[in-house]
Chain A
Amino acid sequence: MINKQDFKKINDWLWEIPKSFKQGMRVPVRIYVSEKMLDDIFRDKSIEQIINVSTLPGIQKYALAMPDMHEGYASPIGGIAAIRISDGVISPGMQGYDINCGMRLLKSDYSEKEIRPYLESLATEIQKEVPSGLGKGRQTKLSISEIDKVLESGAKYLVKQGYGQEEDIESCEANGRLEYADAGAVSSHAKDRGRDQVGTLGSGNHFLEIQKVAEVFDERASKSFGLFKDQIVIMIHCGSRGLGHQVCTDYLREFIPLMENKYKIPVPDREFACVPFNSPEGQRALAASAAAANYAWANRQMIAHFVRKAWGSVLGEKTSPLVILYDVAHNIIKKEKYLINGEETEMAIHRKGATRAFPPGHPEIPEKYREVGQPVLIPGSMGTASYILVGQKEGEQAFYSTCHGAGRTMSRHQAVRTITGQEVVKNLEQKGILVKCRSLRGIAEEAPLAYKNIDDVVDVVHNAGLSKKVAKLVPLAVIKGE
């Protein structure tokens, strides 16, 4: 059993569990958390799980966890493993099933005052245009050859097909496409699951919100990002849907025997299902994971297309368009370069419930933001604030990663027993927030009381220097797909 005395306080926002704490740890664990929030993380198995991450072959410096960490499987949600490619592993389980679950933010030219009269119609129209995919879904079903194009070209393919503009691509992490994707590494099961889900939200904590910019913290970055107080923006949270879930399922099935028999890699949890990064199997998993990530970018591109369609139909076709601020993943494996022992080293950064946050001047962020840093999109729990942050130089200590959301503290089951969907809707309506959701149970499961306070989470990453606050967003309408 671990307790607070086993933690070494590095500073007010960072705590360390030394490598000597448990046999098998290859690096220390570092958790970004305030003393106030520290007690929360003892409530579930997330500490045990991040210690498990520190045992992965090839992991460098620290196994890292963010303040929104909570119990998951293999890694906790909010975990980061930076693994050296030359002698390390690739772990599909460390990435998780919702490959490239992520955020996209669309900004408008309008202020809250101008949009208020249209809010109800906008929310209704958006809900109609963007289904959850749990019912009849999109009535269009892509062919396998179209799915292959989505897998290899991501959001780019959809823009070419007319579902967006060239500028959309520039505003996505990796330009909405990882070039090392290979559709041939994705099973027919996964492709089948993806055929009618491009442009669907999914369920659980995935959502669309019409929000307004409530507070601006950083004038310079806000100007660069094109943000102003009271501006209406639209936030999209979703991932690679059934296709990504199946890709991860397939590779776990294949890799567990390989890990245990062929490569004999001892891990504390089978769910890591890792193989050497540079093995043929590892390379195929990377190509499949990239393909699923591309599918997720295409999914958010298609959702943005239908949100724009709803926007145009309510406000008139000549209304000023919705422009993408940024699109960023928070469940992904990426190849990135870092200095390890003074040498530039190629690393496989596994982020599970953590957002990439590149600093000013980084070549991989769009030129228009290069002077200020990468925009980081952090959703709060339903009905609470969300944040736009910006990457910092000091973030290198965390392999340029930051938090990804509020982080659950209460089970869905307990949330449903604690509060009804009607009560949640009433509470939100009292705050002037519209709710468009088919399932009242789903609303209760996502009640704000089931989550950590987003303001506390963001304060930690801001004060730790991983990413700085640019603007605070508050919701005007919460939309879950039909």
Chain B
Amino acid sequence: MQKFEILKHPADLKIKVFGKTKEDLFLNALLAMEEGLRPELEGKKVKREIKIRSFDLSALLVDFLSEALYLIQINKEIYNNIKFKKTSSTGLEAELFGQKVERFGEDIKAVTHHDLDIHQKEDGSFEATILFDI
């Protein structure tokens, strides 16, 4: 299954993300964002804990990615796996697993709420469209 695709946008990074489950969708959105940062890996393994409460599911996706972006940027690292401990439509608790980064090739300023769409399809899988400001 394809994890994400890049959509047309004149200035920023717009992506469509897919996931068999909601958790899968959140992981793939994180991986898409990290690809946009073009990291050069250093290799040392890292683990972080993350706890988010949000207004609704759309906001949860943005808040989760924003919190991950904060951790990525201040610690100079990326995450390639998530262990979800708790999830609901307005909150999550998880562990992020990844590695240290030497440098990033590009900056992502923020995860926007603009034109954000997250929905469950008839086959039960999830799909989301997200715009990142770069």
Contact = CB atoms under 8 A, between A and B. Distances in A.
Interface string A85-109: 0000000010011100000000000
B129 to A, nearest CB: 12
B31 interface: no
Contacts, number: 102
16 contacts: A71-B11, A72-B11, A73-B131, A98-B109, A132-B107, A134-B105, A135-B104, A192-B70, A193-B73, A249-B111, A253-B62, A256-B55, A260-B55, A269-B114, A270-B113, A442-B106
A242 interface: yes
Given A192-B74, A269-B114, A409-B10, A439 B105 contact: yes
Interface of A: 43-44, 70-74, 77, 93, 96-98, 132, 134-136, 189, 192-193, 202-204, 242, 245-246, 248-249, 252-253, 256-257, 260, 269-271, 273, 408-414, 439, 441-442
Interface residues of B, number: 35
Given A97-B133, A193-B70, A270-B114, A73 B12 contact: yes
B103 interface: yes
A382 to B, nearest CB: 15
B66 A249 contact: yes
Contact of A204 (B74, B107, B131): B107
A269 B107 CA distance: 25
A257 B112 CA distance: 15
A204 B106 contact: yes
Contact of B59 (A248, A256, A409): A256
A270 B110 contact: no
Given A193-B73, A242-B73, A441-B105, A248 B110 contact: yes
Nearest to B55: A257
B41 interface: no
A439 B6 CA distance: 21
Contacts of A74: 114
A242 B54 CA distance: 22
Interface of B: 6, 8-13, 38, 54-55, 58-59, 62-63, 66, 70, 73-74, 102-107, 109-116, 131, 133-134
Contacts of B134: 204, 412
A383 B105 CA distance: 21
Contacts of B70: 189, 192-193, 246
Most buried by A among B11, B59, B110: B11
A380 B9 CA distance: 20
Contacts of B62: 253
A70 B8 CA distance: 13
Contacts of B102: 135
A132 B131 CA distance: 23
Contacts of A135: 102-104
A89 B55 CA distance: 21
A410 B10 contact: yes
Contacts of A441: 38, 105
A411 B106 CA distance: 15
Contacts of A70: 10-11
